[in-house]
Chain A
Amino acid sequence: MLFQAAAQAPQFFYLAPWIVFLPVIGLLINIIIGGRLPEKVVGVIGSTAVGLAFVVSVLLAISLAGHHEAVIVPLAQWIKVGDLDIPWAFQVDTLSVTMMLVVSGVGTLIHIYSIGYMHEDVRHNGDPKRFRRFFVFMNLFIAAMMILVGSDNYMMLFVGWEGVGLCSYLLIGFWYEKGKDGIGNSLAAKKAFIVNRIGDFGFLMAAFTIFWAFGTYNFSQVFEKAPEIAAATPVILLFITLFMLLGVTGKSAQIPLYVWLPDAMAGPTPVSALIHAATMVTAGVYLIVRSAPLYNLTPQSQFVVTLIGGLTALFAATIAVGQFDIKKVLAYSTISQLGFMVAAAGMGAYYAAMFHLIAHAFFKGLLFLSSGSVIQGVERGQHHVEHDPRLKKTVKGNSEHLDPQDMRNMGGLRTRMKTTFWVYLIGALALAGVFPFAGFWSKDEILVSQMAYKPVLYVILALAAFLTAFYMARQVMMVFFGEPRTPAAEHAQESPKLMTIPLIILAVLSALGGLINLPKLAIFGPLQEITTLWLEHTVEKGFLPEFTLWIALASTVVALLAIALGYWLYGRRYQELLKLPTAKRPEDPIVAVIGPVFTALKNKWWVDELYWLIIVNPYVAVSKWAADVVDGRFWHDWFHDKVIVDGFNLLTRVLSVQIDLGIIDGIANGLGWLAKRLAAAMRRLQTGFVRNYALAVFFGLVIILGYLIFR
């Protein structure tokens, strides 16, 4: 065992809460004094906070190497009502630490990259003050993600789950006043948030049912009782797992809730890399793997999960073929790859899913960051063209409104952005699943698992893998090869070292990532199945894929075929087509092969339109009706104006006229009138005749004396 050397290592479990505290400290520093600090310092504070969290994660991993059992690190009491007892507690086990390492490791590199990227991005978008805000949100995201992966119960997990959703929303809408019509970005952020709410509904239903059935949210207690419940009333577990799947489809962008992820590309590119490729979207996969004991007991749910994963993988891969936006291609690719993971996790190949998750975090993070580098390279080229008086004349009219993300505006960047090209190529090869890059090993395990589970799913995923390799070949060809198609691309410049160094590190990880879980073959010596053995301590075994030579060969052949096809279509054919006049030129060389299907792919199979048609439009109509008729006419015009206002008027009139004027004033006036009448009666006594008074005095005296004498 590789880890036996660490068996005597000191234990650092008590540090677990610091994986959350450190990013929070980082963001607090940046909130409080970041405004007075230079950009570099703000970036360094943000990156250091995440870097230290990575150090803590490594220490936790070292501690676990000598002590495989899960350790619960309680932090505080949270909710205690009757039987319900939810603590803030961190569960340090091999699964959660794996996620922590990925989140903080890839997160650190992306933070460092962001210092360089955001420096230009905030200036390009014209608001340098937002540099600090970006790092605050990013640190907040890391903290929320750490809560998600570090929790020991479903409720604390949900806090992280919502926290990352919030950060995703904030960061997609980072340039909230930009985008189509000035609201495009905020609409994208809203869409992501609302679609995720649907998933959260599923998660909450699952969580509440868990509490109803098990009386606790704690992972280990739930899993302990699960077989008992499964034996008694299996439908409960089916209910829980399927609703949990709804949560997964929201967060991990699976059919039918994947539509938010492509729009989420409105966020800055490091956000796409960190949140919408490497970490947050894998939370759904993590949730399934974490809940493995529940899924193992419900084969029906497992089948549904696997099917959804497989279909998503293929469906999203087809759309990726028809996209021209460099980030949209990667977004659909992410959905597709998440489909691979969900399919693997669904059928019980948990280790394969986690392996692909890690490898995907490396290469997709790399691809997104490199695409950010490409986009900024083109923007720099554009800037150069616009501000060079000699060039301005020749390219007049051509350079206006150029979309720096459109791959049709690129080309030939290979020689202009050398580092970016090489790292992009490594990322693309890893994603395409070419031997010996990380993606080859991880995808191979998934394909082997599916073959053993349901061959039809193997076929689906193999097709998806073919398309994956094809659209990556298309992208690399369109972006980096051939002649530059715009002056901006011609004058594109390489990104600064601050951005390229994290790219190189990620490229190395993407290339060598397969080492963390090589198949069980004697030639690999001590490197066999490291991740599998590591995760075995926490996650139930489920299905263990065996290395199958023909599947590995088949995948390689499929990938190479797709790349060859991509090269032929986009390396050769595309260049020839460019010589034709614009009117005769087809939109994309693949139109010749698949014809009108390309239009469907380009329009994403009109899924967004379909959702608009069957959900959003009726919903808007219903809300309009509710606003106009129910709220406006019924509540406002009738209930408020008629019932409340008129009723109130009536009541006040009764009170003022009848009660106040009638009774109250009546009493007061009556008293006055009575006093007047009494006085009028009494004045007669005052005759003014002295003798009358004298007589009265006399009789009074007589009466008093009589009383005194005869009493």
Chain B
Amino acid sequence: MVPITYYVGLSAILFGLGAIGVLVRRNAIVIFMSIELMLNSANLAFVAFARYYGALNGQIFVFFVMAVAAAEVAVGLAVIVAIFHSKQSINVDDLDSLKG
């Protein structure tokens, strides 16, 4: 049996990678993928704790997260496609029309 600490540690590393990815990458698709990484790190933590405590709540939550992530990707990719149509770029640093 792998100790819970390993799962949590892995989850934290994944989350950190995801967060750094969101902050440092400029490609919108990559940022999307980093977000997915953070969501999945959270899923990992949920599942690990569910297994550890022998309760189903966590696993149920993971389904929700997956559903939300799928919806989000559908909407997000549509937005990115729309942006690409108008800007011919998906570099987020080019999307600075809200600049003060």
Interface residues of A (CB under 8 A from B): 682-691, 694-695, 698
B19 within 8 A of partner (CB): yes
State how many angstroms separate the Cβ of B93 from the closest Cβ of chain A. Answer: 6
A-chain residues with CB within 8 Å of residue B22 when the two chains form the complex = 691, 694
> How distant is the Cα of A688 from the Cα of B23 in the complex, in angstroms?
14
- In this complex, the member of B19, B23, B100 whose beta carbon has the largest number of chain A beta carbons within 10 angstroms is B100
> How distant is the Cα of A689 from the Cα of B98 in the complex, in angstroms?
8
**B93 and A689 form a contact (CB under 8 A):** yes
**B19 and A686 form a contact (CB under 8 A):** no
Among residues 68 to 100 in chain B, which have CB atoms less than 8 Å away from a CB atom of chain A?
Answer: 92-93, 95-100
**B23 and A698 form a contact (CB under 8 A):** yes
Chain B, interface residues (CB within 8 Å), range: 10 to 19
**A688 and B97 form a contact (CB under 8 A):** yes
Tally the A-B contacts, defined by beta carbons under 8 Å. 33
Interface residues of B (CB under 8 A from A): 19, 22-24, 26, 92-93, 95-100
**A689 and B100 form a contact (CB under 8 A):** no
20 additional contacts, CB 8 Å, given A688-B95, A691-B26? A682-B100, A683-B100, A684-B100, A685-B100, A686-B100, A687-B96, A687-B100, A688-B96, A688-B99, A689-B92, A689-B93, A689-B99, A690-B92, A690-B95, A691-B22, A691-B24, A691-B92, A694-B23, A698-B19, A698-B23
> How distant is the Cα of A690 from the Cα of B24 in the complex, in angstroms?
11
**B98 and A691 form a contact (CB under 8 A):** no
> How distant is the Cα of A140 from the Cα of B11 in the complex, in angstroms?
118
B-chain residues with CB within 8 Å of residue A687 when the two chains form the complex = 96, 99-100
Residue of B nearest to A684 (CB): B100
Residue of A nearest to B97 (CB): A688
**B96 and A689 form a contact (CB under 8 A):** yes
Can you report 9 A-B residue pairs in the complex whose CB atoms are below 8 A from each other? Answer: A683-B100, A686-B98, A687-B99, A687-B100, A688-B98, A688-B99, A691-B26, A694-B22, A694-B23
Residue of B nearest to A679 (CB): B100
A-chain residues with CB within 8 Å of residue B93 when the two chains form the complex = 689, 691
State how many angstroms separate the Cβ of B17 from the closest Cβ of chain A. Answer: 14
Residue of A nearest to B95 (CB): A690
B-chain residues with CB within 8 Å of residue A695 when the two chains form the complex = 23
State how many angstroms separate the Cβ of B10 from the closest Cβ of chain A. Answer: 20
B-chain residues with CB within 8 Å of residue A694 when the two chains form the complex = 22-23
**A686 and B99 form a contact (CB under 8 A):** yes
State how many angstroms separate the Cβ of B21 from the closest Cβ of chain A. Answer: 11
**A691 and B23 form a contact (CB under 8 A):** yes
> How distant is the Cα of A418 from the Cα of B88 in the complex, in angstroms?
138
State how many angstroms separate the Cβ of A510 from the closest Cβ of chain B. Answer: 117
> How distant is the Cα of A690 from the Cα of B94 in the complex, in angstroms?
10
A-chain residues with CB within 8 Å of residue B100 when the two chains form the complex = 682-688
> How distant is the Cα of A685 from the Cα of B96 in the complex, in angstroms?
12
> How distant is the Cα of A690 from the Cα of B90 in the complex, in angstroms?
12
State how many angstroms separate the Cβ of B82 from the closest Cβ of chain A. Answer: 15
A-chain residues with CB within 8 Å of residue B95 when the two chains form the complex = 688, 690
Residue of B nearest to A702 (CB): B19
A-chain residues with CB within 8 Å of residue B98 when the two chains form the complex = 686, 688
State how many angstroms separate the Cβ of B97 from the closest Cβ of chain A. Answer: 7
B-chain residues with CB within 8 Å of residue A682 when the two chains form the complex = 100
Q: Which 3 A-B pairs have the closest CB atoms?
A: A688-B99, A688-B96, A683-B100
